[in-house]
Structure 1
């Protein structure tokens, strides 16, 4: 019996050590790094640190899930970014409807500030921090990064399947869960929660990608975001993923991800 207990204890310790930190394909993964605590609730992210030495660029990665869950955990793109030399902070944030806008944007901003403050610890070049998000995550990283008035300034943003103008969905249950108020009578709040209204001439370069057959977040949203960026003279590129919808673009759009990684690498030089 004692032997069984000892063996189980060893397995538990090894398992916990594996969750805390492990080497995987040229980077070290440390899970559940807390960047903020709200009412005793820790908000954390997974940190991917390349094994190479010297200062490195970084990317804050933000998951989707309709602001209500983490259905897209962004682990795949986080691994791929780490393998090409980026430090990656793949974060969680408070979810709707328990927490309404702007709680989610505040959390993403706090994660950016935390990474900026702790850059030296992870050998990160604080002048080369970028953002990447898909769906709700794209919406949040754009809101957090387009019109920041103080450091950290994002070097660039990659946004896929972006809900750019929330007023396009006045009857959306997901948007209503996020904002807590219908469009009628709260139009100013809906406008403020829309990335198209937060572009400034100082906004960082943006790469947008979107599924051609996206029926959840229509491709017109990418066009509206591109127009808003163009009107302010912000460098922006778009990439249409042929024959894929919203979820499939997240899961299968390797070509878009490669172009996004190329874009973010060029901006990080």
Structure 2
């Protein structure tokens, strides 16, 4: 499943040595090594798997067994002895093997050192992780605080009988009132305007009411004053009342040229 060679060997040579091992391994024997004409197999069973160390016959068997003991700590690297665990953590296993053997010779290392080397622990990395954890914690606390503030605002709005977006509605009302105040005043139709039919007072009042209803509400006494001026201008056109000049109404009305006479 996972193979690591520490000397130069061809792939076919490695596959041939591994294919020969099942014929030499005997589960009924107490020995954990087997020899051929050229190599020695030192192995250790791990449940359904085998940890196999292939060396030359001239190597020290005691050192080979000690090396095999470190190799057999696969559960420390792979977090399990299942085939899926070994395949998933293949690179971690290879890195650990490289710490045990270098250029075909065993290194003087312990299991704790191997774990430290494979984890690649460093002070800078710890500091970076600590800072990142603090930032994440602050972000979570800020999110909780904002959620509490929003909940309190909802409760306060519910007690006052107002929806949460009432302030936005207020702003919209103010903007609508400003837009209405800036609209130009509507002039009533006059007799001198060609092509415009003369409306009666009732029809003109209903038309003005419909126009006012479409515009929206009128603010304060300004709307009533404008309506009074409109009624006065309508009466003037109809000839019911004499014309009255008002500074509040910005309406152009047809007038005759005025003459001034002086008598003693």
Structure whose residues are more often strand by fraction: 1
Bigger Rg, which one: 2
Structure whose residues are more often helix by fraction: 2
Band of TM-score, shorter chain: under 0.3
What's the TM-score once normalised by structure 2's chain length? Answer: 0.23
Larger RCO, structures 1/2 (Cα 8 Å, 6+ apart) = 1
What's the TM-score once normalised by structure 1's chain length? Answer: 0.23
